[in-house]
Amino acid sequence: MRSDHRFAHVFYPLVVFFCLVLVLCSGCTSVVQPPPVIVTPSPPAVKDGDGSWMEVPLTDLQGKGNFSIRSFAGKTVILQVVSDACPSCVSQLSREIGEIERIPGVQDKSITVVALDIDQPGDRGFIAKYHDQFNFSGYTARSPEGMTLQLLNNKGPFAVDTGSIPVILICPDGHEVLLPPGFKTTDALQTYRAKEC
């Protein structure tokens, strides 16, 4: 009888404890689902210094044929990014082209100048609208959308923000530099060229 009493003394409290644990745990069985992960596609990554944008085929709008920035390897290239999306910038962009044209070496073609229009497809574009306002001897082309995106990824927002009057200097060895934002005089452009190339 004593062993039954001991058994009951141990067994019943264990049963009560076990039932209490089951009751308490039953309220905690629902699993909170985390919110769904939304994956936003990002543009293809272009490593800093990756010159793949220089390989993009372009067509000269003045009839000088097809080219890429890389096709001028071994020469200094001055690339000005233009757009009519910033109406207040048009005169500054035109003046910058004039300053670039006055650099010694541009007229004798030892320096190649490219005006790259990043206007949206379907728009007439900066070059078509304002070409007659400057006597431009270089190459002119519309940037394919992918090239504009590569420039943005590679060089940052100032490379495609025409309000900052973007100019990219490509040295004969292929080294490329986005010059500081703002209007640059012929003297300043020559100084950058001497320093970087």
pLDDT at 191: 92
In a domain, 12, yes or no: no
Question: How do residues 124-176 score in pLDDT, each as one tens digit?
Answer: 677 776 666 666 778 888 998 789 889 898 898 888 888 888 999 999 998 89
Question: How do residues 60-78 score in pLDDT, each as one tens digit?
Answer: 888 889 999 999 999 999 9
Query: Could you tell me if 72 and 146 are in contact, meaning their C-beta atoms sit under 8 angstroms apart?
Result: no
Strands (E), the chain: 58-59, 66-67, 76-82, 111-117, 139-142, 167-170, 176-178
What is the domain range of residue 96?
Answer: 51-196
In a domain, 129, yes or no: yes
Query: Could you tell me the pLDDT band of residue 44, with boundaries at 50, 70 and 90?
Result: very low
Which position has the higher pLDDT, 56 or 26?
Answer: 56
Which position has the higher pLDDT, 166 or 98?
Answer: 166
pLDDT at 3: 52
pTM, entire model: 0.69
State yes or no: pLDDT of 181 exceeds 50.
Answer: yes
Read out DSSP for 70-122? GGGTTSEEEEEEE-SSSGGGHHHHHHHHHHHHTSTTTTTTSEEEEEEE-PPTT
User: Quick one: what percent of the chain has pLDDT higher than 90?
Assistant: 26
What average pLDDT does the segment 14-42 reach?
Answer: 49
The total number of structural domains in the chain stands at 1
Which position has the higher pLDDT, 76 or 19?
Answer: 76
- If 0-12 CB within 10 Å is exposed, 13-18 middle and 19+ buried, where does residue 101 land? middle
Collapse the DSSP code of 143 into the 3-class scheme (helix H, G, I; strand E, B; otherwise coil) and give the result.
Answer: coil
Determine the distance from the C-alpha atom of residue 78 to the mean position of all C-alpha atoms in its chain, rounded to a whole number. 19
In a domain, 111, yes or no: yes
CATH number at residue 174: 3.40.30.10
Listed in sequence order, the residues at least 6 apart from 67 whose beta carbon sits closer than 8 Å to its beta carbon are 57, 58, 60, 139, 141
Which position has the higher pLDDT, 121 or 185?
Answer: 185
In a domain, 114, yes or no: yes
